[in-house]
Amino acid sequence: MRGAHSARRTRGAERFSLALCLVCLITSCAAAPVTERRGLHLVPDSELTSMSFQEYNKVLKGSKLSTDVTKVAMVRRVGQRIAAASEELLEESGRGSDIRNYKWEFNLIEDEKTVNAWCMPGGKVAVYTGLLPIAQDENGLAVVMGHEVAHAIAKHGNERMSQGLLAQFGAIGLSLALARSPGVTSDIFMQAYGVGTQVGFLLPYSRLHESEADRIGLVLMAKAGYDPRSAIALWQRMNARGGSRPPELLSTHPAPESRIRDIESLIPEAMQYYKGNR
């Protein structure tokens, strides 16, 4: 009798765990701004933001920050304008709460060989000095920073982490992990954002995420007052710079020609936002 009772309790716990997981699945499929694509976001934003703050500080401690006052000022000026545009976009779409806990920070890392930039959830942004010659000016830099901030506000990292959690724990195990051990997401965060031995390098986003970030990023830079048409020239320069070993920013993007065609097709949408800022 005790064995049967114990088995019933186990099955009940499993059903409860599965039900809890299903609730998580249903309630966490948030939509990205602009595209309205729905993605699975199982990790609480507050937890993800807290982890990003810790890991960002580790990146800064392990890096040499630029002391070029002019370049640093440009990065922070462009970053603040993109940040303000992202806050405005999310407020307009009723998602203002997604970004209210962001603590924006923009730093320029001294590394001429690295053509890269990234944004962690919570608004922690790094740009590498190797990117600046290709960006050329504020418009070019806004293309890249808009793209990277778009990854953050579209919660692409959370989506990758959620997929990792499901793959590691399964449906029932995931619900228990979230309920009993919130800290279990730490290692998956490290993998999803590529923070660790290769400091400053993100693991590749999917092509879907990259294309979505292109679209949202164009809107962000336009709302910030930067001409989205400059994105075409920026990515042409980036592709020309690629050679046999493309910059990190191109690692998982669609083929250069098709990608630029896609961006060209998105310019009219972004220009609607830009006209309002002139």
Known catalytic residues? 148
What lies within 8 Å, CB to CB, of 239 at 6+ separation is 246, 250, 256, 260
Burial 45-54 (b: 16+ CB within 10 A, else e): bebbbebbee
Cα maximum dimension of the chain: 78
Alpha-carbon Rg for the chain in angstroms? 20
Report which of 81, 67, 45 is spatially closest to residue 220, judged by C-alpha positions.
Answer: 81
Tokens of 138: 């504020």
